[in-house]
């Protein structure tokens, strides 16, 4: 099935040669695109992103070597295999083609069976590489994401927190952390069961993804706790974000998968770098202490960390 959907771009200034190749390759079920113009070949490759390019070397305006060099210099097209199919059959011509980055080199006149075999070989390798990249991409995502909420995981957010501290220290900037806890989460699990608890966690992850800026970092820190990093955000801005999130959770209509009239709330603790702490551990502790102050104040509220406890901020 993969071979039937594979796309091939044929670049040749001879319409007869193109027709010959189309007949040869259609038998294998490939989707064929063609051009006789060298000056539009690169643009076609960028737009189509074919699985293979069959490229004549002797083209007007821009030869195949030049086209291949351009394709191999671009991140978007460098992994697309190029097979030169040309009448240039000297050894130095072939060496030049391979040095530029060609996958294979076929000389004219050619046998159709040979072209089919070489094309299938290139396509199979390309599709295998694409599948491997896809799997590696999934593994990379799983390594930094929480599987349930799809937010960043604890290990990744701690790494990013170290980086944000270094950046803020270097450029004399501020940023903030917010620690969030779902109120009475144990009671939710005990009353409705863990599957409902999981739905609540996923829903909380969705709220955070939709409600924060793209530069903000939202993570599931552990259990029902979430840690946010808000770059370039002072105390006033962080208070605004905390109150916004509190309102969204408190007032939002829950998903249909939750029990009817189900509601839950959150408590939030704020800490600001560098005013409240200058190390990762102390900053997290400050946000955590603020969170527990919010819980002690009745939950469904936020509190900001203050070294002088008499000046604890109220929402």
By annotation, the residues acting in catalysis are 224
Tokens representing residue 237 in the block: 């801005």
CB 105, CB 94: distance < 8 Å:
yes
* C-beta separation of 123 from 52 below 8 A: yes
Structure tokens at 257: 């998968």
The count of C-alpha atoms lying within 13 angstroms of the C-alpha of 109, restricted to the half-sphere facing its C-beta, is: 3
How far is residue 56's CA from residue 65's CA, in Å, rounded to a whole number? 9
Q: What is the largest CA-CA distance in the chain?
A: 89
Question: What's the rounded Cα separation, in Å, for the pair 212 and 80?
Answer: 37
Helix (H) or strand (E) holding 300: none
CA distance 88 to 86: 5
> Which token pair is 252?
């939002």
DSSP 143-158: HHB-TTT-SB-HHHHH
The backbone torsions φ and ψ at residue 128, rounded to the nearest 5 degrees and listed phi first, read -65, -40
Task: List the 225-231 sheet strands across, edge first.
Answer: 217-222, 225-231, 175-182, 266-273, 302-304
């Amino acid at each position: 099935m993969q071979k039937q959907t594979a796309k091939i771009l044929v670049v040749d200034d001879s319409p007869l040669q193109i027709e010959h190749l189309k007949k040869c390759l259609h038998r294998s079920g490939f989707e064929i695109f063609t051009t006789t113009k060298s000056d539009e070949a690169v643009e076609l490759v960028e737009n189509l992103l074919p699985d293979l390019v069959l490229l004549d070397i002797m083209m007007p305006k821009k030869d195949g070597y030049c086209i291949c060099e351009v394709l191999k210099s671009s991140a978007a097209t460098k992994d697309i295999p190029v097979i030169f199919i040309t009448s240039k059959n000297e050894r130095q011509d072939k060496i030049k083609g391979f040095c530029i980055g060609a996958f294979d080199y076929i000389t004219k006149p050619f046998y159709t069976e040979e072209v089919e075999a070489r094309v299938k070989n290139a396509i199979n390798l390309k599709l295998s590489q694409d599948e491997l990249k896809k799997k590696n991409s999934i593994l990379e995502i799983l390594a930094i994401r929480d599987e349930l909420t799809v937010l960043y995981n604890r290990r990744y957010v701690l790494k990013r927190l170290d980086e944000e501290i270094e950046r803020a220290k270097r450029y004399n900037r501020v940023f903030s952390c917010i620690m969030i806890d779902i109120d009475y989460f144990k009671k939710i699990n005990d009353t409705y069961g863990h599957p409902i608890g999981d739905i609540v966690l996923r829903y909380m992850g969705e709220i955070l993804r939709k409600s924060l800026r793209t530069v903000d970092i939202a993570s599931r820190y552990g259990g029902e706790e979430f840690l946010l990093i808000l770059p370039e955000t002072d105390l006033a801005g962080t208070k605004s974000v905390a109150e916004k999130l509190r309102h969204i959770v408190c007032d939002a209509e829950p998903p249909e998968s939750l029990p009817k009239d189900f509601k839950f709330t959150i408590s939030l603790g704020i800490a600001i770098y560098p005013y409240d702490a200058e190390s990762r551990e102390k900053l997290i502790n400050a946000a955590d202490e603020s969170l527990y102050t919010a819980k002690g104040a009745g939950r469904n509220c936020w509190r900001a960390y203050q070294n002088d406890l008499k000046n604890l901020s109220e929402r």
